[in-house]
Structure 1
Amino acid sequence: MTGLRSLLRILLLLAFAGTAAAQVEVRIQMASRNYVAGETIGVTVSVTNHSGQDIVFQGTKEYGWIDFNLTSNRGVPMTPLAKQAFGGMKVPLGQTMSRSFDLSRIYPLKEMGNYSVYAMVRLPGQSRDGFVSNRILFNVDTARPYWSQKVGLPGKAGQTREYRVLDYNSGRKSMLYAQVINARTGTPMQTHSLGEYLAFRKPSVTLDNRQVMHVLYLKAPTIWVHARISPDGSLLGAELHKNAAGDPLLMTSADGVVQVGNSIPYDPKAEAAARAKVRKASDRPNFLFQ
């Protein structure tokens, strides 16, 4: 009787898999098609369930519920850095659920070149076959070092990091990146895109008394960005500033504290709210009823 029940469960699972095959849609999206080596290469996988019932995607020891197929510009399949294990995902009937992944942590994407990627999602009980997503082409490139500095870690003798500010020109716009390198191994720990900048003003870079890197660059004709990056590679924040009398600049006090001088802090939300308040006041009629 137990064997019969097991056989029935298997048959029901296979029947469900066959029914769902045309009723599960998988799509992937990437925020950009161009990346700098060492940067996070994010891909979002969206799964839509039209199978007739809820689906719980859950991997096994042998097979994960999702795999990525990545090939180089020569059409050579890339080998993952290690066997991947991703937490399961439940997709209710009629809904679309999404999950984001970092391809740079799954595959060795340190070399410049063109790549293509698609995802394969498996139902419970499936092994090699699954539902294939659309394919996306993307490019990994190198950037020109604009500034670099090696520093020791406070309180950690013998451990050093190298800060780098990278300048990447895609042919249409200039992009700025902040990178932290493990100086012992030479491998990037974190690479952050700081966004587009206007190259007719050179970025300013300095370190404070906590070995935090400060980068000040021009984002728009009157808007500057002050970004801060810690020795562990974390992006601590990015504040906006407006010109005061001349260009803003990084100022270091006698005790090593770095601040932005010759600027006016800029909050676009507060400015939009102030403009809206002025418009509401102007909407009042010229006469008042007594």
Structure 2
Amino acid sequence: MTGIRLLFSLFLLGLCVTTARAQVEVSLKMGRNNYVSGESVPVAVTVTNRSGQDLVFQGNSRVGWLEVVVNTLSGNPLTPLGQPSFGTVKIPLNQAMSRTLDLAQLYSLQTSGNFSVYAIVHLPGQNSQGFGSNRLTFNMNSARPYWTQKVGVNNKPGQSREFRVLEFNNGSKTMLYAQVIDSRTGGAMRTHPLGEVLMFRKPSVTLDNRQVMHILYLMSPEMWGHVRVAADGQLLGRELHKRGAGSDPVLLTSRDGIVQVGNSIPYDPKAEAEARGKMRKASDRPTF
């Protein structure tokens, strides 16, 4: 008799857990699982309301309605940089809400290592309990410096920045990164992934008269990328170039310190797509 009661209790417990899980569905997605220390680590959180009614999510002074938890693979939790506020969100019945968060803004991920992440959503009145998401794993990797240069900061005596161009091989491709370091703290202010680089043509890097870093690198056998990064870490622009007459594109610096790409043909993929569309429309016309 005792065994039957125990089985019945376990059945009811399982039924309650299943019902609770069905009320709110939480899922995480990441575009990749390998990142370089210092770059953004975006994760998309999707919350679906299956509760049978509209739900309003809002936190309190103790806990927010959305928690994102990052652990080492050994199970040790990382300490959040603060308690982020995600505001008040209303999700109608059978509707979903998605947000993309940067884990590098929520946790210190400056060092290399392997980590896991999951999310917990709390209904109003829930402090310790909630609805959990799937668990994802990701890796923070150190990249090899390809080029570095320290510069002073305009109008800020004693302060300096370090420009870095990094290369990282993820096992199948070599990826290029642009990074700006605060020399006082040693931390990365910004790290920009530039995509794949073909290293049989070495990237060219230089600074102009405004302390802007210019990077010219081979992205594919026929395409070069030109990226400009300011001393505050801001990505100022990214342009595409094809080979001009004769040799490869090069970075040219004028006497007054202006940097431009020479021996190239600027490439605009949007303009080329529009031109192809016009050609297709013309070819669709009937012939007489």
Distance 1:221 1:80 in 2: 43
Confirm or deny: 8 A CA contact 2:110 2:187 kept in the other structure: no
Indicate the larger mover: 89-98 or 127-136. Answer: 89-98
1:175 shift after superposition? 0.3
Q: Within 5 Å, which residues of 2 pair with 1:60-79?
A: 60-79=60-79
Match of 1:254 in 2: 255
Q: Within 5 Å, which residues of 2 pair with 1:168-183?
A: 168-183=168-183
1:108 shift after superposition? 1.9
Confirm or deny: 8 A CA contact 2:114 2:140 kept in the other structure: yes
Match of 1:269 in 2: 270
Q: Secondary structure at the match of 1:119?
A: strand
Confirm or deny: 8 A CA contact 2:28 2:134 kept in the other structure: yes
Question: Runs of 5+ in structure 2 lacking a partner?
Answer: 1-17
The question of 1:195 aligning with 2:195 is answered yes
Deviations 1:107-139 (A, max 9, x none): 221221111110001111111100100110111
Q: Within 5 Å, which residues of 2 pair with 1:1-290?
A: 22-245=22-245, 246-287=247-288
Distance 1:158 1:77 in 2: 37
Confirm or deny: 8 A CA contact 2:203 2:215 kept in the other structure: yes
| Corresponding pairs, count | 270
Cα distance 1:202–1:126, how it changes in 2: closer, same or farther (>3 A)? same
Deviations 1:67-92 (A, max 9, x none): 12211122222221233333232212
Kindly provide the amino acid, as one letter, of the partner of residue 271 in structure 1.
Answer: E
Distance 1:234 1:33 in 2: 24
Deviations 1:169-208 (A, max 9, x none): 0110010001100011111111111111112111111111
Distance 1:107 1:257 in 2: 39
The TM-score, its normalising length taken from structure 2, stands at 0.90
Indicate the larger mover: 106-115 or 35-44. Answer: 106-115
Kindly provide the amino acid, as one letter, of the partner of residue 97 in structure 1.
Answer: M
The TM-score, its normalising length taken from structure 1, stands at 0.89
1:20 shift after superposition? 6.2
Distance 2:276 2:84 in 1: 50
Distance 1:200 1:276 in 2: 35
Kindly provide the amino acid, as one letter, of the partner of residue 252 in structure 1.
Answer: T
Q: Secondary structure at the match of 2:281?
A: helix
Match of 1:7 in 2: none
Confirm or deny: 8 A CA contact 1:56 1:91 kept in the other structure: yes
Q: Secondary structure at the match of 1:79?
A: coil
Confirm or deny: 8 A CA contact 1:20 1:50 kept in the other structure: no
Q: Secondary structure at the match of 2:71?
A: strand
Confirm or deny: 8 A CA contact 2:241 2:265 kept in the other structure: yes
Confirm or deny: 8 A CA contact 2:25 2:49 kept in the other structure: yes
Question: Runs of 5+ in structure 1 lacking a partner?
Answer: 1-17
Kindly provide the amino acid, as one letter, of the partner of residue 208 in structure 1.
Answer: D
Kindly provide the amino acid, as one letter, of the partner of residue 157 in structure 1.
Answer: P
Q: CA RMSD in A?
A: 1.5
